[in-house]
């Protein structure tokens, strides 16, 4: 194999890429725990032991596979964020721009078959959502600086939101994003239930953006009044005991 190419680096790289591709596809479908090395190596048509040789084990393979995509994504994100900041010339960033700095690079990668293609966004979502401690720790540690940059940017773009509140909203945002991207199979369910079209990823993110912007800018919760945020909390229980009071609820 690869006899006319450069000595060994070529086939070497091919092997690694085939393993990456196989691991990626399987991980998207079945998660970290649900994917075995045998599945990966069978699909990649490489020997089982090659995993150990190239990556030192399952953890190494999967973290490297994820880093392959995420590093370029996050670099592009930070670059774009800096770009926006430069064009703003000292003016505070707009919330939409910060969001765009997160989304646009993701969309671009999703359009590039050589760097993830259609599956890229699903990989993104799965990775954030996977329960395996290995991946959680890896992601948290490796991308904490990027996350910090965006936290700063959002804080600048939304000065009216107290920092503490903002951090939680960013967390909610990550959740909506990750869950939505991960749930390609859920789309089918929703589509079946409601005769919705199956969306392109781009359309999806375009739908998600206004939702998130509005959420980030939402009025602050009122912790003083238990009934403000979620309507009356205990009231419905009381009506069970006292059916008279039921009629005058408002």
Rounded (10°) CA dihedral 47, 51, 57, 59: -120
Indicate which single residue of 17, 71, 75, 233 sits in contact with a copy of itself (rule: CB under 8 A). Answer: 233
Which of the residues 29 through 48 are near a copy of itself (CB under 8 A)? 30-31, 33-34
Q: Is 176 in the site for a copy of itself (CB under 8 A)?
A: yes
Shortest separation between residue 70's beta carbon and a copy of itself, angstroms: 16
Binding mask 69-108 for a copy of itself (x = CB under 8 A): -----------x--xx-xx-x----x-xx-xxx-xx--x-
Question: DSSP readout, 175-229?
Answer: HHHHHHHH-HHHHHHHHHHHTPPPPPHHHHHHHHHHHHHHHHTPPPP-SS-HHHH
> Given the complex with DNA, which of 56 and 226 has the nearer CB atom?
56
- φ, ψ of residue 37 in degrees (nearest 5): -65, -30
> Given the complex with DNA, which of 53 and 168 has the nearer CB atom?
53
Q: Single out the residue of 129, 223, 237 nearest to residue 176, CA to CA.
A: 129
Tokens 């774009």 label which residue? Answer: 80
Indicate which single residue of 8, 237, 241, 244 sits in contact with a copy of itself (rule: CB under 8 A). Answer: 237
Indicate which single residue of 132, 142, 149, 156 sits in contact with a copy of itself (rule: CB under 8 A). Answer: 132
Which of the residues 11 through 30 are near a copy of itself (CB under 8 A)? 30
Binding mask 177-216 for a copy of itself (x = CB under 8 A): xxxx-xx-xx--xx--xx-xx-x---xxxxxxxxxxxxxx
> Given the complex with DNA, which of 52 and 72 has the nearer CB atom?
52
d(Cα 224, Cα 221) in Å, to the nearest integer?
9
Shortest separation between residue 34's beta carbon and a copy of itself, angstroms: 5
Query: How many CA atoms does the CB half-sphere of 143 hold within 13 Å?
Result: 24
Q: H or E stretch including 120?
A: helix 120-129
């Amino acid at each position: 194999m690869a006899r006319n190419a450069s000595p060994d680096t070529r086939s070497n790289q091919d092997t690694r890429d085939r393993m990456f591709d196989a691991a990626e596809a399987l991980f998207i479908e079945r998660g970290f725990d649900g994917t075995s090395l045998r599945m990966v190596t069978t699909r990649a048509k490489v020997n089982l032991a090659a995993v150990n040789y190239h990556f030192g084990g399952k953890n190494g393979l999967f973290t490297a596979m994820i880093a392959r995509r995420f590093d370029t994504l996050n670099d592009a994100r930070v670059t774009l964020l800096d770009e926006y900041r430069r064009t703003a010339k000292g003016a505070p960033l707009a919330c939409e721009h910060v969001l765009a700095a997160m989304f646009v690079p993701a969309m671009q990668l999703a359009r590039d078959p050589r760097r993830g293609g259609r599956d890229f966004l699903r990989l993104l979502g799965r990775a954030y959502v996977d329960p395996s401690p290995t991946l959680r720790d890896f992601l948290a540690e490796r991308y904490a600086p990027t996350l910090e940059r965006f936290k700063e940017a959002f804080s600048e773009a939304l000065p009216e939101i107290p920092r503490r509140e903002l951090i939680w909203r960013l967390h909610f945002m990550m959740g909506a994003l990750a869950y939505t991207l991960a749930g390609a199979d859920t789309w089918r369910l929703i589509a079946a239930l409601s005769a919705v079209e199956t969306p392109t990823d781009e359309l999806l993110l375009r739908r998600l953006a206004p939702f998130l912007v509005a959420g980030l800018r939402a009025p602050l919760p009122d912790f003083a009044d238990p009934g403000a945020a979620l309507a009356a909390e205990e009231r419905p229980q009381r009506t069970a005991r006292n059916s008279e009071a039921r009629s005058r609820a408002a």
